[in-house]
Amino acid sequence: MGRVLQVVACCAIGEALVWHAPLLGRGTRGIARVGASSSSGDDAMVSSSPEGERPSARVLLGKFYELAVPYFKETSEARWLLARVVGLTLLQSGVSVVFSYLSRDFYNALSAKDVASFRDILLKFCGALAAGVPVTVLYRFERETLALRWRNWLTRDLLGKYCVDRKFYEVEYNSTIDNPDQRISEDAAAFAAVSLSFGITALTSIVDLASFSTILYSIYPPLFGAIVVYATLGSVLTAYVGRELPDRNFRALRREADFRYALVRLRENAEAVAFYDGAVPERRRAQDRLDRAVDAQADVIRTQRNVEFVTVAYRFLVQVLPVAVVAPLYFAGEVELGVVTQSSSSFNHVLSDLSAIVTQYEAIAAFGAGLDRLAAFADTLQRDDDDEEEPAAGKPSSPDVVLETRSLAVQTPDGTKALVDDLDLELRLGQRLLITGASGAGKSSVLRTLASLWRPKSGDVSLVDRAVFLPQKPYCSLGSLRDQLLLLNTDDPIDDDHLLHALELVGLRALAAIDPVQGLGVTKDWASMLSLGEQQRLAFARLVLNQPKLAVLDEATSALDLDTERRMYDLLKTKLGDDLAVVSVGHRPSLLQHHDLRLRLDGTTTPQLEPITDADRRAAAQTSII
């Protein structure tokens, strides 16, 4: 019975549902995580709950409330639209009742061969059509408009929370949430459409139930009793036969997402897999996951078959049951033929209102799964909001200081690895600091902490406002060549001559000539078209255009030849000179030429800060790595 209540609590009645299993299974892990390892057959990818552990009806209802209500609380337009939809829903039910009576009179006139009444009813029928058609059309239009606006609001709300304070980074690296992209786009849209569908059908059902029950009762009270017994029996029997269905549905969704993720990994890493000749293990892995998904789906369809034995018999029986109950009255001449047909159509109406579990068992279970996913995502965004303050850096104590750390201790976000202890650093305009150390020593982690991506274990970081970080992996946004150059200058207008000059300085002027008509407006998939070195040079062009006070470069020249590396650092020197401080991370000895201070992470947690001398530079020139 708990399962029955759970399903009923999700919503009273459902009709055509769009939130289907395939939709939920359409999963990709976040692109940034594609290179990361995924646990084999990890079923915890789709839902926030572990396999087999679905939230209770009460929890689901709470989640539904939290997701659904804010839109209607916050915008008066939403309330008006909802009011219109509710009004049209009631009118729509009224239209059904009117047609039920017209149909009764129609058949009565027909069986009595009463031509005058028949004509009269045909006229009434045309009048009812004139009123009923606009109601039906507008009902659907307003309802879809509301679903669209609700989706828009919900998606914007999630997107806003996701993009604020680098939440996308938190979600990607510090949470168990998979596929945030899918949740923001597809799950939010499905939530709005399905919730509305459920809400409206629930309302329609209540109104229908009241009006058609009255009709049934007025025709013949035992008919009303028959329907209550029939619907109750049907619902209980279906819930019992299909009791495994929600869990099996959940499992099938997870495994489908697992399978899709294996394919996405292959697509995203196509070049690396081709170089490694790794298609065979990738295929084996994908096939394993496909097998698991197919097994889970086979379980689902077996259970569905059993449920269908009940539901199909139920639907067939209802064709004759009301007529069979009223037939004795008709044979006894106590009611006319129209009453028999009206009782049949009213019976069908009431039955569909009472038969939520029978008709929508699978759909409601799928809705619960989707709701759980979306709510878990919203919770994560909200939880981070309620957490302690973001680890924002303070401001340096003096105008020519661009970066200061006081007793800074750095550790990995999970707290398992202490990387740096007690770092005191003061960097002034014009100074150039190189951070060196073995792979895995914590160089990038120090930069992440300086950029406030990671919370310091202890100590403070102060940073000028105009600081720019270039990550190890170059980044190109979607958009034109101009957009790539202005990535750091989204607010300042910069004319095309300056942009072209910056391209010239980094040896990429030819990019503006790819399309002579569009010039800087040319749009390509820059990340896959440009070589790694070209993307790194593009990043230097951005620096020149942005003119920051502090540039933090994480192996930003690793893909460049030594000559180009020198030209890039010289460019910063000639263009920005003493108005810029630089912090670089790198392994190459050549980098010593471009820096005057060195922070050595030598495997202990105590970093060594030292000036770089000419002797160091000469000695380093004899080695291949520093």
Ligand X SMILES: Nc1ncnc2c1ncn2[C@@H]1O[C@H](COP(=O)(O)OP(=O)(O)OP(=O)(O)O)[C@@H](O)[C@H]1O
Per the DSSP assignment, residues forming a β-bridge with 245 are none
Q: Is 473 in the site for ligand X (CB under 6 A)?
A: no
Q: Cα(306)–Cα(243) distance, rounded to whole angstroms?
A: 11
Q: Measured from the CB atom, is 414 or 491 closer to ligand X?
A: 414
Q: Is 445 in the site for ligand X (CB under 6 A)?
A: yes
Q: Is 452 in the site for ligand X (CB under 6 A)?
A: no
Q: Is 70 in the site for ligand X (CB under 6 A)?
A: no
Exposed / middle / buried, residue 70 (Cβ in 10 Å: 0-12, 13-18, 19+): middle
Q: Is 412 in the site for ligand X (CB under 6 A)?
A: yes
- In the structure encoding, which two tokens stand for residue 490, read together? 């989204």
Query: Do the Cβ atoms of 418 and 409 come closer than 8 Å?
Result: yes
The residue among 423, 406, 518 whose CA lies nearest residue 462 is 406
Q: Cα(552)–Cα(558) distance, rounded to whole angstroms?
A: 14
Residues in the chain: 626
Q: Measured from the CB atom, is 80 or 169 closer to ligand X?
A: 169
Q: How far is the CB of 177 from ligand X (least distance, A)?
A: 15
Sheet of 467-470, strands arranged across = 467-470, 550-554, 581-585, 432-437, 597-601, 608-611
- In the structure encoding, which two tokens stand for residue 435, read together? 């951070």
Q: Is 437 in the site for ligand X (CB under 6 A)?
A: yes
Please report the DSSP string for 356-369 in residue order. HHHHHHHHHHHHHH
Q: Which of 152, 175, 444, 558 is the binder for ligand X (CB under 6 A)? A: 444
Q: Is 348 in the site for ligand X (CB under 6 A)?
A: no
Exposed / middle / buried, residue 362 (Cβ in 10 Å: 0-12, 13-18, 19+): buried
Q: In 10 A of CB 403, how many CB atoms? A: 23
Q: Measured from the CB atom, is 271 or 414 closer to ligand X?
A: 414
Q: Is 603 in the site for ligand X (CB under 6 A)?
A: no
Query: Do the Cβ atoms of 172 and 32 come closer than 8 Å?
Result: yes
Q: Which of 54, 254, 289, 443 is the binder for ligand X (CB under 6 A)? A: 443
Q: Measured from the CB atom, is 77 or 602 closer to ligand X?
A: 602
Stretch of residues binding ligand X (CB under 6 A), selected from 8-16, 121-129, 146-154, 407-415? 407-415
Q: Measured from the CB atom, is 249 or 535 closer to ligand X?
A: 535
Q: Measured from the CB atom, is 414 or 495 closer to ligand X?
A: 414
Site for ligand X in 171-200 (CB under 6 A): 173
Q: How far is the CB of 442 from ligand X (least distance, A)?
A: 4
CB neighbour list of residue 537: distance below 8 Å, 6 or more residues apart: 506, 507, 508, 560, 564, 568
Q: In 10 A of CB 8, how many CB atoms? A: 16
Q: Measured from the CB atom, is 216 or 599 closer to ligand X?
A: 599
Q: Is 558 in the site for ligand X (CB under 6 A)?
A: no
Per the DSSP assignment, residues forming a β-bridge with 583 are 433, 552
Q: Which x/- pattern, by CB under 6 A, does the window 248-267 give for ligand X?
A: --------------------
Q: Is 471 in the site for ligand X (CB under 6 A)?
A: no
- In the structure encoding, which two tokens stand for residue 257, read together? 């997402």
Q: Is 11 in the site for ligand X (CB under 6 A)?
A: no
Q: Which of 37, 439, 623, 624 is the binder for ligand X (CB under 6 A)? A: 439
Stretch of residues binding ligand X (CB under 6 A), selected from 208-216, 313-321, 369-377, 434-442? 434-442
Q: Which of 271, 387, 388, 414 is the binder for ligand X (CB under 6 A)? A: 414
- In the structure encoding, which two tokens stand for residue 93, read together? 């039910």
Q: How far is the CB of 22 from ligand X (least distance, A)?
A: 33
Q: Which of 442, 474, 548, 589 is the binder for ligand X (CB under 6 A)? A: 442
Q: Give the footprint of ligand X on this chain (CB under 6 A).
A: 173, 412-414, 417, 419, 437, 439-445
